[in-house]
Amino acid sequence: MTAMTDPKPAPATKDSTAKGAVSAHMSAATQADHFRQVRRARETETIEDYVELIADLIDETGEARAVEVGRRLGVSSATVNKMVARLQQLDLVTAQPYRSIFLTDEGRAVAEKSRKRHHTIVEFLLALGISEKTAWADAEGLEHHCSEETLEAFERFSKTNNVGK
Amino acid sequence: MTAMTDPKPAPATKDSTAKGAVSAHMSAATQADHFRQVRRARETETIEDYVELIADLIDETGEARAVEVGRRLGVSSATVNKMVARLQQLDLVTAQPYRSIFLTDEGRAVAEKSRKRHHTIVEFLLALGISEKTAWADAEGLEHHCSEETLEAFERFSKTNNVGK
DNA sequence: AAGAATTGTTAGCCATGGCTAATAATCTCA
DNA sequence: TGAGATTATTAGCCATGGCTAACAATTCTT
Ligand SMILES: [Mn+2]
Ligand SMILES: [Mn+2]
Ligand SMILES: [Mn+2]
Ligand SMILES: [Mn+2]
């Protein structure tokens, strides 16, 4: 028995190209680069969220306890515990058993940077006319996927369009 | 020996609140909701990227072969294979061994929605003045973290600010 | 100071989404 | 048509980031 073959696909004519299709706009290599960038960003987003939150807790309440980190992240304290171990490996925090969590200098730097970026996004969304609720919700995800160039554009826009304030 | 205690943290006075700290703006429960939303978005983003790309390949070249999906995603074909199995479970694609990949109606719907959203973001970034290169790169990550409200605002903005063209 | 409540730790589980290496099927073309 | 090139599959590995349940330490309250 001879091998089955797919119906030979009509080799898309130029004008059958789907408008909006990403692949129509760049080479496979370029597209792959973009996906790789996104995957790299994904590796750090959890870390950024934890560190930023720890800084917030320290600055607002005087200390960061694992329970509270878990509460605000919507995650169990077992999960927080494991993550704190990783953050220690990465030299972003220090912690002793049963004590609260502290930021290293490096951790503090990551936190400040994340916090600033977070703030930039929220301000931008608000300047665009997004509701408070949505702005804060969307910013939590968007913040990890903005290049410097985009962040700068967002800042410029907010500066120009700071409606009421 | 009596239990060690942390140096009792100064219970942050109202004006020691770090400006920009997220926690200053909402309850723990609300913040946790936002983080949960982001985690839910993360669950679907890979699926959306695969399905959108499969649709692009079908529409542009007539068929979606795993090799090409891998090439454009920057991922091995073993990875594509495993993911295609998951997409089948989810009823988003159909595939027979050694044949190319097809979209189900549901898969096609997901693809169209993703493609439209992707397009919305790219147009928006371009309208904002971001370079082509950055716009396409950032959109690949941002697209998975925009609410309907934000997408609509982006569309309105692009419509109003369609610079050249 | 004891008991209760809270907080932290650990073990073991799971799904996701990557990878390499080995093998198998299909396709191309000389 | 058959050999070599391409493409697909499978097995087995790994890190990440969740979870529950059991238990341990600390802190609070009386
Ligand atoms: Mn943040
Ligand atoms: Mn975030
Ligand atoms: Mn997309
Ligand atoms: Mn994407």
Higher model confidence: residue B165 or residue A33?
A33
Q: What is the mean pLDDT of chain B?
A: 90
Which string of b and e fits B72-92 if b means at least 16 CB within 10 Å? bbbbeeeebeebbeebeeeeb
pLDDT for the residue numbered A144: 98
Q: Is the pLDDT of residue B21 over 70?
A: yes
Instruction: Give residue limits of the domains in chain B.
Output: 29-161
Cβ within 8 Å, pair B157-A21: no
Higher model confidence: residue B163 or residue B14?
B163
Q: In the structure, what pLDDT confidence band is assigned to residue B9 with cuts at 50, 70 and 90?
A: low
pLDDT tens-digit readout, B23-50: 889 999 999 999 999 999 999 999 999 9
Using DSSP's 3-state secondary structure scheme, residue A150 falls into: helix
Q: Which ligand is nearest to the CA of A110?
A: 1
Q: What is the pTM of this model?
A: 0.92
Q: How far is the CA of A84 from the C1' of D25 (A)?
A: 18
Which of the residues in chain A have pLDDT under 50? 1-8, 10-16
**In this structure, what is the dihedral angle of CA atoms B109, B111, B117, B123, given to the nearest 10 degrees?**
-130
Q: Is the pLDDT of residue B165 over 60?
A: no
Cβ within 8 Å, pair B32-A71: yes
Q: How far is the CA of A99 from the C1' of C14 (A)?
A: 29
pLDDT for the residue numbered A114: 98
pLDDT tens-digit readout, B85-131: 999 999 999 999 999 999 999 999 999 999 999 999 999 999 999 99
Q: How far is the CA of A107 from the C1' of D16 (A)?
A: 20
Q: Which ligand is nearest to the CA of B110?
A: 3
Contact A18, A75 (CB under 8 A): no
Q: What is the C-alpha to C-alpha distance for residues B90 and B88, in angstroms, rounded to an integer?
A: 5
Q: List chain A residues with CB under 8 Å of B61.
A: 9, 11-12
Lookup: tokens for A50: 């934890």
Q: Is A71 on the interface with B (CB under 8 A)?
A: yes
What is the CATH code for B29-161?
Answer: 1.10.10.10
